Amino acid sequence: MANFSESIVNQRFKRVYTELERTNKIKGKSDIAKHLGTYNHVINSILKGERNITVDQLNKLFDIFKVNANYLFGISDDLFLPGYAANDITVRGMSERNHSGRRNITLVPNRALAGYALEHQQDDFMEELPKFSVPNLEGDLVAFEISGDSMMPTITNGDIVVCEPIERGISLRDNHVYVVVTDVVVAKRIQQSRDKNNMLLISDNSDVYKPYPVDLDEVRQILKVKCRLTSHAIS
């Protein structure tokens, strides 16, 4: 069985759980499971390091209990959002999500990747996605939840990559990591062809996943990966 206990997000979720229980904001695993839209045994498995907490569960944790996303990702020591000390938490539904302007990163969870490929230019679609911020990352950015092992060890299953959309015509850098949007969304290293009509998408886990070309006419968007949210830095 995989050991997820080394994930910084899971480690800090355990601290959040302990604090919420200590301050009587939850009444145990069954209670928080109900708020996060899951089951008692799932919470138990996360706390034991037997599975990862999902992005959807994290979104609900942020919105309902006002937990600081930056704390969960290991880049802040403030467990709760400013103004929401543990004894002042107000339980709210998803419809009351705070869309403060300081949340400049739009998060695309794994379940929304197919929709993003088709509708990322639609304001209504983008506005429905959750938002968060990371210190020192400015501008309008997009973060994607990564599923699979094709980019291991650079990017691992469950990592979140924070990206900057690249305008067409801006030069790209070969062998750097980008998110390429066609009818699917993938994170790959790229190599451009001499005629500029296509590019080669390359997985770091090259023993299993072979490079493949994609025509530029099929590319709907390219985003430069600026960082990943995990316990290790992107190379």
Q: What is the mean pLDDT of each run of 10 residues along the chain (235 residues)?
A: 66 90 86 92 90 87 87 81 53 32 82 92 90 83 91 85 90 92 95 86 93 94 88 42
Same domain, 44 and 156: no
Domain span at residue 138 reads: 105-229
CATH number at residue 25: 1.10.260
Q: What is the pLDDT of residue 84?
A: 61
Total number of domains in the chain: 2
Same domain, 91 and 109: no
Q: What is the pLDDT of residue 73?
A: 83
Same domain, 42 and 110: no
Is residue 72 included in any domain, yes or no? yes
Same domain, 51 and 132: no
Q: What is the pLDDT of residue 141?
A: 94
Is residue 214 included in any domain, yes or no? yes
Final residue of a domain: which of 75, 96, 117?
Answer: 96
Q: What is the pLDDT of residue 3?
A: 54
- What is the crossing angle of helices 40-47 and 8-22, to 10°? 120
Q: What is the pLDDT of residue 234?
A: 40
Q: What is the pLDDT of residue 85?
A: 52
Is residue 235 included in any domain, yes or no? no
Q: What is the pLDDT of residue 204?
A: 92
Same domain, 41 and 82: yes
CATH number at residue 171: 2.10.109.10
CB 50 within 8 A of CB 4: yes
CB 107 within 8 A of CB 55: yes
Same domain, 137 and 219: yes
Same domain, 111 and 58: no
| Residue 128: φ, ψ to 5° | -80, -15
Same domain, 85 and 135: no
The radius of gyration computed from the CA coordinates of the chain, to the nearest angstrom, equals: 19
Same domain, 88 and 131: no
* HSE value, Cβ hemisphere, 13 Å, CA-based, for 204: 18
Same domain, 91 and 128: no
214 - beta bridge partners?
A: 199
Put simply, whether the predicted model's pTM sits higher than 0.85 gets the answer no
